[in-house]
Amino acid sequence: MKNAIKIVALCCLCCLSLALPLNAAGPIDGEVSAIWWANDIDAKSATDATSVDAGAAGLRAELRMFKRYGLNAGHYRSDAEGTSIDYTNIDFMWRALAPTENNFVALGVGWQSMGIDGFATDTSGLRFSVEGRVELPVGLYAYGHGSYLPSLQDAELDGSVLGNVEDLDAHEYELGVAWAATPIIRVHAGYRVSSLSFTENVTELAGGGQFPLVPVTSDGPGFQQLGPASSSCDGCSSTAIISSSTSEKESAGFYLGVGFKF
């Protein structure tokens, strides 16, 4: 969590520090926003489904250069008792179609990291994004953003469970509206979804005790027979079963935010 906040804060400072020298070379502007995301965490597996209320503050920053290019960075969090998910991302954006400042379609590529309770390590990977904005009357504009993460890094489960997660992929989307309350203040409201799917491999002892894991054969979908323990390990279990299942975690909910344009 602390590292994620440092990353986003650094991105915000970079946006502000780059704005002054680059402004001499061409048009540049941006926005730094703070939001509150009131979301639910829905977790689904082959045998169980849970939903808990969550919500936390988030930060995001945009830097737009020469009307066509930009950098977006953000940190969002789903925080509930007993579980939490952190999302941190940075994207390079290109406005493929941009007749005006608040009417455009942009494409982007970037990197995202996720810290998830239950995973011993964070997972991260490349992401591809599309963003659009449409100007509305009386100082309003509507916007949408979608991202797809085709392949995230595998991760180990935490110390209470022996196993790992693999085949991770994710997507997220956001729909919202913003109001220019003053020339420098923007008020945001919208709905945001972040979804992650993965295969969870959990190792269960056939007898008890500890053992060295030595893969030998596959006993059908979702199960793998492991070989005998070392003869030097007195009292160890001779076999173990790895059960595999597809799971999903999704954070979804409404948010409110205030941004400062520069």
DSSP class of 7: H
Both 237 and 169 in one domain: the answer is no
pLDDT at 240: 62
Closest by Cα among 91, 92, 89 to 115: 89
Residues 69 and 193 occupy one common structural domain: yes
Domain that holds residue 81: 2-202+245-261
pLDDT attached to residue 162: 79
pLDDT of residue 60: 96
Give backbone dihedrals phi and psi of 198, rounded to 5 degrees, phi first.
-165, 165
Are residues 149 and 60 part of one domain? yes
Locus of tokens 């409201």 = 189
The residues near 137 (Cβ < 8 Å, ≥ 6 apart) are none
pLDDT of 242? 75
User: Does 86 lie in the same domain as 24?
Assistant: yes
Task: Say yes or no: 230 and 152 in one domain.
Answer: no
Same domain, yes or no, for 251 and 238?
Answer: no
The domain tally of the chain equals 2
| Percent of residues in the chain assigned helix, strand, coil, to nearest 5 | 10, 70, 25
pLDDT (0 to 100) of residue 8:
45
Do 129 and 239 fall within a single domain? no
Give the pLDDT of residue 52.
92
Together in a domain, 217 and 112: no
Kindly give the confidence (pLDDT) of every residue in the chain, 262 residues in length, as a single tens digit, with 9 standing for 90 and above.
444 444 444 454 444 444 444 443 357 899 999 999 999 999 998 788 989 999 999 999 999 998 899 999 999 999 987 788 999 999 999 999 999 889 999 999 999 999 998 888 899 999 999 999 999 999 999 999 999 999 999 998 887 677 888 999 999 999 999 999 999 999 999 999 999 999 988 887 655 544 444 444 444 444 444 444 444 455 554 456 678 889 999 999 999 999 999 8
What is residue 189's predicted lDDT score, i.e. its pLDDT?
98
| 216 and 93 in a common domain | no
Write down the pLDDT at residue 243.
Answer: 83
Residues 141 and 220 in one domain: no
133 plus 234 within the same structural domain: no
pLDDT of residue 219: 46
Q: What CATH number has the domain bearing residue 8?
A: 2.40.128.100
d(CA 206, CA 228): 11
For residues 225 and 143, state if they share a domain: no
